[in-house]
Amino acid sequence: MKQRNESFPEDFILTGFTKYPWLDLPLFCVLLTSYMFTLLGNIAIILVSQLDSQLQSPMYFFLTNLSFLDLCFTTTTVPQMLFNLGGPDKNITYVGCMAQAYVFHWLGCTECVLLGIMALDRYVAVCKPLRYSVIMDHTLCLQLAGMAWLTGLANSLLQSTLTVQLPLCGNQVLDHFFCELPGLIKMACGDTTVNKLVLSVVATLLIMGPLFMILVSYGYIARTVFQIPSAAGRLKAFNTCSSHLLVVSLFYGPGIYIYMQPSGDGPQDLIKVLTLFYCVITPMANPFIYTLRNKEVLGALKRLLRKAMSSKRM
């Protein structure tokens, strides 16, 4: 029992930015504000996509999935981070830490695959517009979304289960804001070669695979757009794709830097900042990127607000 307690402590201490204690209060305010905007923005996208009959297309089906993912993604980490920043207690239980690692990596991997699927959807919409509704029917959309969620779950079960089995030898200090696999692997006192190898291989497949599909899809899209004779047609096609490309850049940029070096060789403070960016800032920015650059979503929001106002007057 003593050996088990040493290998698997009851809780962990999350250091965060303990080197800079003056950052706790401003970071708490930034995270709380970002989280509130994330909740409001993504819930609005989900409601608009579900309630407005003009947004019942595959694009908005996948956008609803993305918004739901972002809600879960931030809720997995941000409340714990706010709790730790708001007081002297920087602990998280062992069970809570492992559950957080499982869910976080499930959702993160799912989003990688879903962004690739959304690029495929844009390819069909732009390059094969006459057959779009036939090819991207409801059944196929459900299958593609289900594949993304199941792929993320399978990856999480593999990676997190391998990490849970690593002995910690009493190590309790986790140099991060929350429980993420590279940090947990770095804490282990046993041989982590297999964990690092599996994490590198799977991360490469699940990040570079969808990214390759995105780049190929947009290569075909660009070729098709340049063949459109009217400037208005080219602008409309560009606007339907630019929001997705911006979201991809915000999500994949930090993710590639962090997970292509799972041994934690990079500067830890930089890794923390990049992690905050893709798990807090990007989910907050996604709904605003899609609404501010999408006239259909803005129109749907206005229609729903008008209906809400008219119902209150009655």
pTM: 0.86
Give the separation between CA 175 and CA 101, rounded to whole angstroms. 14
289-298: pLDDT as tens digits: 777 666 777 7
* Sequence-separated (6 or more) residues with CB below 8 Å from residue 220: 123, 127
Please tell me the predicted confidence (pLDDT) of residue 1. 37
Weakly modelled stretches of the chain, pLDDT under 70: 1-9, 18, 233, 236-237, 240, 261-266, 292-294, 308-314
Please tell me the predicted confidence (pLDDT) of residue 184. 85
Please tell me the predicted confidence (pLDDT) of residue 5. 46
CATH of the domain at 94: 1.20.1070.10
Q: Are 8 and 260 in contact (CB under 8 A)?
A: no
Structural domain including 42 reads 2-313
Give the separation between CA 240 and CA 60, rounded to whole angstroms. 12
User: Which tokens in the block code for residue 17?
Assistant: 């930015």
Q: Number of structural domains, the chain?
A: 1
157-184: pLDDT as tens digits: 998 888 888 887 777 888 888 888 888 8
